[in-house]
Amino acid sequence: MKVLQVAAEVFPLVKTGGLADVVGALPQALAAVGADVRLLLPGLPAILAGIETPSLVCELGPMFGAGRVRLLRGMLAPALPVYVVDAPYLYDRPGNPYLAADGAEWADNLQRFALLGWVAAHVAAGELDPGWQPDVLHAHDWHAALACAYVAARPVRSVATVFTVHNLAFHGLFSPTDFFLLGLPSRFMAPSALEFHGQFSFIKAGLKFASRITTVSPTYAQEIRTPELGSGLDGVIRARGNHVSGILNGVDPEVWSPASDAQIAAHFSAADLGGKAQCKAALQQALGLTVDAGAPLFTIVSRLTSQKGLDLVLDALPDLLHQGAQFAVQGSGDAVLEHAFRQAMAQHPGRVAVRLGYDENFAHQMIAGADAMLVPSRFEPCGLTQLYALRYGTVPVVRRVGGLADTVVDASDDHLRQDRATGFVFGPATADALGRAMQRAVVAFRQPTLWQQLMRRGMAQNFSWEPVAQQYLALYHEAVVTL
Ligand code: ADP
Ligand code: GLC
In short, whether 12's Cβ falls inside 6 Å of ligand 1 is: no
In the prediction, which pLDDT does 103 show? 86
Cis peptide bond N-terminal to 78, omega within 30 = yes
In the prediction, which pLDDT does 78 show? 84
Cα–Cα dist 185/314, whole Å? 49
Ligand 2: residue of 140, 249, 382, 463 to mutate (most ligand atoms within 8 A of CB) is 382
Give nearest CA residue, ligand 1 atom 13: 18
Cα–Cα dist 312/140, whole Å? 30
- Per DSSP, the three-state class of 36 is strand
* CA distances (Å), origin 24, targets 99, 101, 334, 414: 21, 25, 27, 38
Cα–Cα dist 360/349, whole Å? 25
User: Which among 240, 119, 233, 262 has a CA at the least distance from the CA of 170?
Assistant: 233
Give nearest CA residue, ligand 1 atom 20: 302
Q: Is the dihedral of CA 42, 13, 465, 374 positive or negative?
A: negative
**What is the H or E stretch that residue 5 is in?**
strand 2-6
In short, whether 17's Cβ falls inside 6 Å of ligand 1 is: yes
Cα–Cα dist 161/376, whole Å? 33
Cα–Cα dist 29/149, whole Å? 27
Cα–Cα dist 456/469, whole Å? 26
Instruction: Report the nearest atom of ligand 2 relative to the CA of 164.
Output: 12
Those residues of the chain that have pLDDT short of 50 are: none
- In 134-177, beta strands by DSSP E: 136-140, 160-165, 173-174
Distance 424 CA to ligand 2 centre (A): 20
Helices within 155-252 (DSSP H only): 202-209, 218-223, 234-239
Instruction: Report the nearest atom of ligand 2 relative to the CA of 384.
Output: 10
Cα–Cα dist 396/405, whole Å? 11
Distance 18 CA to ligand 1 centre (A): 6
- Label the pairing between strands 199-201 and 80-86: unpaired
User: Which among 117, 145, 102, 129 has a CA at the least distance from the CA of 42?
Assistant: 117
Cα–Cα dist 237/61, whole Å? 37
Ligand 1: residue of 14, 16, 21 to mutate (most ligand atoms within 8 A of CB) is 21
User: Which among 281, 334, 329 has a CA at the least distance from the CA of 103?
Assistant: 334
Say how many C-beta atoms besides its own lie within 10 A of residue 274's C-beta.
Answer: 10
Distance 404 CA to ligand 1 centre (A): 14
| H helices, E strands: number in the chain | 18, 18
Ligand 1: residue of 263, 302, 329, 362 to mutate (most ligand atoms within 8 A of CB) is 302
Distance 432 CA to ligand 1 centre (A): 25
Q: Quick one: 274-459 is in which CATH superfamily?
A: Glycogen Phosphorylase B; (3.40.50.2000)
- In 323-447, beta strands by DSSP E: 326-333, 352-356, 372-375, 395-399, 424-426
In short, whether 363's Cβ falls inside 6 Å of ligand 1 is: yes
Q: Quick one: 2-250+465-481 is in which CATH superfamily?
A: Glycogen Phosphorylase B; (3.40.50.2000)
Ligand 2, pocket residues at CB < 6 Å? 17-19, 22, 166-167, 216, 249, 380-384, 403
In the prediction, which pLDDT does 158 show? 85
Give the start-to-end residue ranges of the domains of the chain. Answer: 2-250+465-481, 274-459
Distance 191 CA to ligand 1 centre (A): 34
Instruction: Report the nearest atom of ligand 1 relative to the CA of 307.
Output: 3
